[in-house]
């Protein structure tokens, strides 16, 4: 099996700054990584194992790069009549004004930085090529491009996307210095956290970094709390005066959510009444569909097991000692109950968060 194409030195060089693929996670718009994870990995100098097998999806994407670069060139020639030859890049680019902004890019064509993407299922929800790239591309990909432009100092980028086997998309992303400045400002704050963590770890490798890491928010915080406190005691705490502020925020947010849910339900009903027996509705805001899904077959496994157990007992009751004593022994109550235990498991209960009912009325 092929291993990753990067050696340990390559990964270690990337510890001296944030790479383009980390821009989205640092701003909290990545589905794969959180700001806290990025900062912690940099602080503790954690790198992927260079000897580990490369995941197939990443390997295929990497193998496709020279092919896509040539397809990009052909597309530009077809659309504009001519184009500079593309050139690959193996350099770790670094913004001189902000050394923590680094990037490995896929290549260049003329004055444009090139970013190549493969999307086997079209999961990226790619928008129109002539639309605003900030909206046509996933936020994490758009931020990756802005970060790359910051590191390479290029005036624009070409993003070439292979969707499945039949569709290719080309986006031109102009340099937006206002957005780049805002991105770099966030990354500067995150890099300051990395350096503060490293300084503390230099004095004490086992020191806690909790106060230096980016705070967890939303679902990330919820999942962290579930992992940290999976079980409850019987203690019910009393809120302090300072804590009452958060309780009131929860109450107000819960009431607002209930009101929004009611308005959503009413709005859906009104549009469904317009659609009626049609498959959907086309409007200036987009297409709404109301189609019937495929019938689902539900198998009542517990009832099947109970019926099967009853049938086995009925068969046993009709047997006599002389018919088949071995089978009769296997159908004893003890043996049948033992079968049940083989396929019975207990899952730990989960903590349920309840609020006063008055908040949701």
Answer yes or no: is 358 within a domain.
no
Residues facing residue 162 across a β-bridge: 118, 168
Answer yes or no: is 266 within a domain.
no
Determine the pLDDT at residue 298: 82
Q: What domain range includes position 175?
A: 8-187
Determine the pLDDT at residue 224: 67
Instruction: Calculate the alpha carbon distances from 166 to 67, 120, 171 in Å.
Output: 14, 10, 17
Please state, as a whole number, how many other Cβ atoms lie within 10 Å of the Cβ of residue 44: 15
d(CA 334, CA 345): 19
Would you state the structure tokens that stand for residue 111, as one six-digit string? 């004055």
CB 8 within 8 Å of CB 50: yes
d(CA 170, CA 159): 6
CB 142 within 8 Å of CB 173: yes
Domain CATH code at residue 181: 3.90.320.10
C-beta contacts of 166-172 below 8 A and 24+ residues apart: 167/122, 168/71, 168/75, 169/126, 169/129, 170/72, 170/75, 170/76, 170/129, 171/129, 171/133, 171/136, 171/137, 172/112, 172/133
Grouped pLDDT means (10 residues each) for the chain, 361 residues: 61 92 92 90 88 74 88 95 93 95 95 92 80 91 96 97 89 96 96 96 93 81 74 87 92 93 93 91 88 83 82 78 71 77 77 76 74
Answer yes or no: is 157 within a domain.
yes
CB 54 within 8 Å of CB 208: no
CB 58 within 8 Å of CB 235: no
Answer yes or no: is 133 within a domain.
yes
- In which residue are the tokens 């999806």 written? 57
Closest alpha carbon to 141 in 128, 125, 121, 163: 125
d(CA 7, CA 151): 22
Determine the pLDDT at residue 353: 74
Answer yes or no: is 147 within a domain.
yes
- What values do phi and psi take at 268, rounded to 5? -65, -40
- Could you tell me the pTM of the whole model? 0.65
Answer yes or no: is 270 within a domain.
no
Phi-psi map region of 18: left, alpha, beta (phi>0 left; psi -120 to 50 alpha): beta
- What values do phi and psi take at 42, rounded to 5? -70, -40
Determine the pLDDT at residue 322: 59
Split into its structural domains, the chain has a count of: 1
Answer yes or no: is 283 within a domain.
no
Answer yes or no: is 24 within a domain.
yes
d(CA 91, CA 68): 19
Determine the pLDDT at residue 53: 75
């Amino acid at each position: 099996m092929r291993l990753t194409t990067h050696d340990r030195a390559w990964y270690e060089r990337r510890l001296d700054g944030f790479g383009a693929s980390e821009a989205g996670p640092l701003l909290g718009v990545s589905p794969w990584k959180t700001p806290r994870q990025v900062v912690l990995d940099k602080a503790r100098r954690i790198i992927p194992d260079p000897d580990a097998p490369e995941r197939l999806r990443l390997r295929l994407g990497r193998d496709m790069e020279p092919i896509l670069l040539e397809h990009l060139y052909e597309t530009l020639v077809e659309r504009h009549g001519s184009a500079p030859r593309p050139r690959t890049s193996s350099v770790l680019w670094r913004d001189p004004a902000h050394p923590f902004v680094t990037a490995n890019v896929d290549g260049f064509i003329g004055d444009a930085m090139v970013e190549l993407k493969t999307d086997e299922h079209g999961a990226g929800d790619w928008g129109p090529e002539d639309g605003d790239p900030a909206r046509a591309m996933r936020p994490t990909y758009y931020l990756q491009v802005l970060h790359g432009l910051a590191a390479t100092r290029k005036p624009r980028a070409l993003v070439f996307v292979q969707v499945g086997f039949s569709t290719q998309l080309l986006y031109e992303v102009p340099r937006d210095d206002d957005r780049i400045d805002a991105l770099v400002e966030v990354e500067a704050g995150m890099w300051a956290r990395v350096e503060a963590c490293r300084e503390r770890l230099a004095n004490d490798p086992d020191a806690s970094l909790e106060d230096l890491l980016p705070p967890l928010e939303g679902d990330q915080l919820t999942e962290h709390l579930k992992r940290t406190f999976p079980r409850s005691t019987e203690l019910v705490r009393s809120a302090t005066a300072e804590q009452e502020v958060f309780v009131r925020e929860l109450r107000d947010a819960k009431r607002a959510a209930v009101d929004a849910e009611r308005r959503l339900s009413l709005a859906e009903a009104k549009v469904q009444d317009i659609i009626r027996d049609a498959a959907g509705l086309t409007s200036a805001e987009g297409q709404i569909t109301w189609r019937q899904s495929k019938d689902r077959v539900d198998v009542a496994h517990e009832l099947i097991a109970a019926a099967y157990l009853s049938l086995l007992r009925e068969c046993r009751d009709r047997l006599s000692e002389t018919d088949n004593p071995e089978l009769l022994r296997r159908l004893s109550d003890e043996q049948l109950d033992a079968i049940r235990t083989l396929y019975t498991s207990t899952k730990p209960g989960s903590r349920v968060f309840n609020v006063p009912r008055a908040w949701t009325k």
